[in-house]
Structure 1
């Protein structure tokens, strides 16, 4: 499995980093961590999909995104001894992660100073993602936000062979990711279905034409 945020490390540093990790397996619907839990480990996703949810100030649950193989979460937790999880992570399929706790990371940092690049790259990438999300929320039409979230999900659930992406996700979750209502998300999905871009099913969306969807999402 290729982890993009480790690409800045040398082959030996990557080998040491992966070797220091502890493999973990989760079944579908397992809770990986709860919002507010102590943030004591980093997870690299080796297989499966994980959904990220947070609690709003009004007490509702909001879905932020879905993470897939090659992605990671929990990097901020390694930088502060009193850090807490900022979201609840749930496995939406069977999943496998590689975990690294704070003491393991400190040992690697002492032995391989270039591991610092890993942390810098990780945090910079997160700032870019958050900045892009704010700009989208402020300036993009809601329909475009739905299309972009769906295009991202098609990538997370897809493969390099271009086969249709079966996204097992409720319309409520998609709407939450785009910051809109279920009715609006449903309208966009119905239009895409009429155009032959997606096929709708119970609790799932199959993206038939990823190239066309990505073009619409620009």
Structure 2
């Protein structure tokens, strides 16, 4: 069973009860899970597959923020306010399955289990820290390092923990957007990594062959 930080601290019986109360959802590759601006009516816990997070910039362009995988969740911010809206568009980049929990169910969980309330607070604080770190990266880190860091993160998201090469299915435009740079720059970094035997490039995919070496380069 996929482990979720949200459920840490619950007993096995409580976890089973919680999972049983959730509604399973299935999405095919390229399905839109939710649109930016939609009412925030439920939180999603990802059990299988990967989804991509995109937002609209003030100039009307689409920016890719990150990719989420099994064990990750999204939508918890929208549930904290009755009139909240989705802050991003979520699209399945592979076939994916989630468990959904609506506002009433989450409020019941928060009331009965204080550790859930602490998790939500810690989750929001962690998001603030990640945003602050992203701003510092954008201002002070070389663009090549930003590309390497995003790629290393994606290798972890797509990795299965078996040490095998991680095939990351996304476009170079998406990778460039995550790193806050152009496709040409991202392509240059990827080509250099390919020459060094760290990755293998394919159509619509990047296969990370040496994660340890990539992690060292991303520091």
After TM superposition, the score normalised by the length of structure 2 is 0.95
Structure 1 residue 8: Cα displacement: 4.2
1:91 aligns with 2:127: no
Aligned runs of 1:141-156 on 2, under 5 Å? Answer: 141-156=142-157
Q: 1:132-169: CA deviations, max 9, x gaps?
A: 21121111110000000000111111111110111111
- For residues 160 and 133 of structure 1, what CA distance do their matches in structure 2 show? 26
Q: Which residue is 1:214 aligned to?
A: 215
SS in 2 for 1:117: helix
Q: Which residue is 2:175 aligned to?
A: 174
Asked whether the 8 Å contact 2:42–2:102 carries over to 1, the reply is yes
Q: Which 10-residue stretch deviates more, 5-14 or 119-128?
A: 5-14
SS in 1 for 2:77: helix
Q: Measured at CA, do residues 120 and 26 of structure 1 come closer, stay the same or move farther in structure 2, by a change above 3 Å? A: same
Structure 1 residue 130: Cα displacement: 1.4
Aligned runs of 1:102-117 on 2, under 5 Å? Answer: 102-117=103-118
Asked whether the 8 Å contact 2:6–2:116 carries over to 1, the reply is no
Q: Which residue is 1:126 aligned to?
A: 127
- For residues 119 and 65 of structure 1, what CA distance do their matches in structure 2 show? 20
Q: Which 10-residue stretch deviates more, 30-39 or 132-141?
A: 132-141
Q: Which residue is 1:162 aligned to?
A: 163
Structure 1 residue 21: Cα displacement: 1.5
Asked whether the 8 Å contact 1:49–1:69 carries over to 2, the reply is yes
Structure 1 stretches lacking a partner, 5+ long:
none
Structure 2 stretches lacking a partner, 5+ long:
none
Structure 1 residue 13: Cα displacement: 4.3
Q: Which residue is 2:59 aligned to?
A: 58
Q: Which residue is 1:24 aligned to?
A: 25
- For residues 65 and 81 of structure 1, what CA distance do their matches in structure 2 show? 26
Q: How many residues align?
A: 218
- For residues 124 and 103 of structure 1, what CA distance do their matches in structure 2 show? 23
The two structures, once aligned, show a CA RMSD in angstroms of 1.3
- For residues 138 and 213 of structure 1, what CA distance do their matches in structure 2 show? 22
Asked whether the 8 Å contact 1:13–1:115 carries over to 2, the reply is no
- For residues 5 and 191 of structure 1, what CA distance do their matches in structure 2 show? 39
